[in-house]
Chains A and B, each alone.
Chain A
Amino acid sequence: DAGITQSPRYKITETGRQVTLMCHQTWSHSYMFWYRQDLGHGLRLIYYSAAADITDKGEVPDGYVVSRSKTENFPLTLESATRSQTSVYFCASSERADGELFFGEGSRLTVL
């Protein structure tokens, strides 16, 4: 089915471990985004990508790495997870950067 999917949906890890959250979209949207959602902060942009091989930092990029070798995939890696990275992570895609975003179902990450 067409859409945007994230995996895993739930992940528990330990401090210092590397974690990768996957995001896949089937619409061939140019733009893809990673947000984190925390109580009291709303949705904050981590990284975004305007096209394959083009990525840029958002509001809270520290501790995260992204890549976009193919238009449809936009993985987010936490190189050395910290407790402050416990959050719900949403991937989104869009035809335009300032247009309607289509969100994935979210990945709930807990760092112990």
Chain B
Amino acid sequence: EDKVVQSPLSLVVHEGDTVTLNCSYEVTNFRSLLWYKQEKKAPTFLFMLTSSGIEKKSGRLSSILDKKELFSILNITATQTGDSAVYLCAVSPTASKLTFGTGTRLQVTL
């Protein structure tokens, strides 16, 4: 059975801290890994990773994939209260669907 596990389940940090969110996976086949941010409503796309070792960056967010060890990390530097959200990791084991993890709930306090 395909599995995506995210850790930690939740965390609280102070504004300005750097956080690392983890996503490990076990899938029969691997095509891509995606990160989404979910605030109060619909998840919004952050990154798609297909190759090991190549960092994707967008502002203060970055992500990297390790296909040998079967995990990915999402880093957020200089966190802001607007970063408070649930971060979802998803893996595409086939060409037709994604398997999501349960998410990491991040709360950034002042």
For the complex, what is the distance from the CA of A47 to the CA of B27, rounded to whole Å? 19
Verify B98–A100 contact, CB threshold 8 A: no
Interface-lining segment among B12-20, B41-49, B69-77: B41-49
Closest to A31 in B: B96
Interface-lining segment among A17-25, A35-43, A62-70, A78-86: A35-43
Shortest distance from the beta carbon of A4 to any chain B beta carbon, whole Å: 9
Choose among B32, B96, B98 the residue that contacts A56 (Cβ–Cβ < 8 A). Answer: B96
For the complex, what is the distance from the CA of A40 to the CA of B105, rounded to whole Å? 12
Shortest distance from the beta carbon of B40 to any chain A beta carbon, whole Å: 10
In the complex, chain A residues whose CB is within 8 Å of the CB of B90: 43
Choose among A44, A56, A99, A103 the residue that contacts B43 (Cβ–Cβ < 8 A). Answer: A103
Verify A42–B100 contact, CB threshold 8 A: yes
Shortest distance from the beta carbon of A103 to any chain B beta carbon, whole Å: 4
Verify B96–A97 contact, CB threshold 8 A: yes
In the complex, chain B residues whose CB is within 8 Å of the CB of A1: none
Once A40-B102, A42-B101, A50-B96 are accepted as A-B contacts, the answer to whether A105 and B48 lie under 8 Å apart by CB is: no
For the complex, what is the distance from the CA of A58 to the CA of B88, rounded to whole Å? 19
Verify A48–B45 contact, CB threshold 8 A: no
Choose among A45, A104, A105 the residue that contacts B98 (Cβ–Cβ < 8 A). Answer: A45
Interface digits, B94-110 against A, CB 8 Å rule (1 contact, 0 not)?
11111111110000000
Tell me if B31 is interfacial: C-beta within 8 Å of chain A: yes
In the complex, chain B residues whose CB is within 8 Å of the CB of A48: 96-97
Verify A106–B41 contact, CB threshold 8 A: yes
Verify A43–B100 contact, CB threshold 8 A: yes
Once A98-B32, A105-B42 are accepted as A-B contacts, the answer to whether A42 and B95 lie under 8 Å apart by CB is: no
Choose among B31, B34, B88, B97 the residue that contacts A45 (Cβ–Cβ < 8 A). Answer: B97
Shortest distance from the beta carbon of A55 to any chain B beta carbon, whole Å: 11
Residues of A at the B interface (CB closer than 8 Å) are 31, 33, 35, 40-45, 48, 50, 56, 58-59, 90, 96-106
